[in-house]
Each structure stands twice: as C-alpha cells, then as structure tokens.
A = this chain, B = another copy of it.
Amino acid sequence: MPATRDEITTFFKKDFPQTKCQILEVGNRSALVSHPVGQEELRPGGTVSGPTMMALADVALYVAILGEIGIVPLTVTTSLNINFLRRPKPSHEIRAQSRLLKLGKSLVVGEVFIYSGSDPDPIAHATATYSIPPQS
C-alpha cells in the first residue's frame, strides 16, 4: 500500500529530524523534493556542496519508493552514481525530480535530476539502487 506525501513527511520528521528536505510531490513512481541553500550548504566559490546534492538525490528517490511500497524503513541505498553538470546559483534553493526506472521485489533503480532555482538545465544527475527487505 503506497504512502501519501503527508505520511512520508510525518515519517521523515520523526525518523530523520535533521533533514531540511521538503517533499513537494510524490506518486506515479516519482517525487519532487526541495532543499534550502544557506551557509551550511555552500562551499568556497559560492557553489552548493556536492554532499548536499547527493543527500537530496538520495532522499528524492527514497521518497518515490515509499510512495509506491509504503513506509518500509529498512529500505537501504546500495549504490549511487552522480554527475555534477553545472554550477548552481548560491542564492537559490535546489530541487530534485526523481523517477523509478525499475521497481522489483527486492531491487529498485531510479534516476534523479537536480535543478537550481528556475533554471531549466539540470545542475546534477544521479542514478541509485535500493534494496527492499523481504516482506513477511
């Protein structure tokens, strides 16, 4: 049974209290998640740090998975590959649009595009795989 945006947001607030990610949309094997950009996310030269983008990509795919299979906390990332494409603007929030490419019983594969502000060109692209524990 799929989880709704509100259910996943509640789950995140309880289990990932430190995350700044905000879930904007979820459903249809995809999710849209935003992350504010402040002093903590910037690195020298005024660009958004790579780990901030990697964390956002991971969350956006995780949310898309929960939107399909429900709140299964033991779902874990098994691999992630990211390409950094363009310098984001330091003054804009970043958003991640994720999409599941394969939703198997035990293995999920998805891709994510990350955008800065309203720029239509992505600043990063990631793919990742997730392992879902056997359901009893």
Contact = CB atoms under 8 A, between A and B. Distances in A.
Interface centre among A73, A83, A125 (most CB of B within 10 A): A83
Q: Size band of the A side of the interface?
A: 35 or more
A102 B129 contact: no
Contact of A83 (B15, B51, B79): B79
A106 B131 CA distance: 11
A4 interface: no
26 contacts: A15-B44, A18-B40, A44-B74, A45-B73, A45-B74, A50-B54, A50-B58, A50-B77, A54-B80, A78-B83, A78-B129, A79-B79, A79-B81, A80-B80, A80-B82, A81-B82, A81-B127, A83-B101, A83-B127, A83-B129, A85-B102, A101-B125, A106-B106, A109-B125, A111-B111, A127-B127
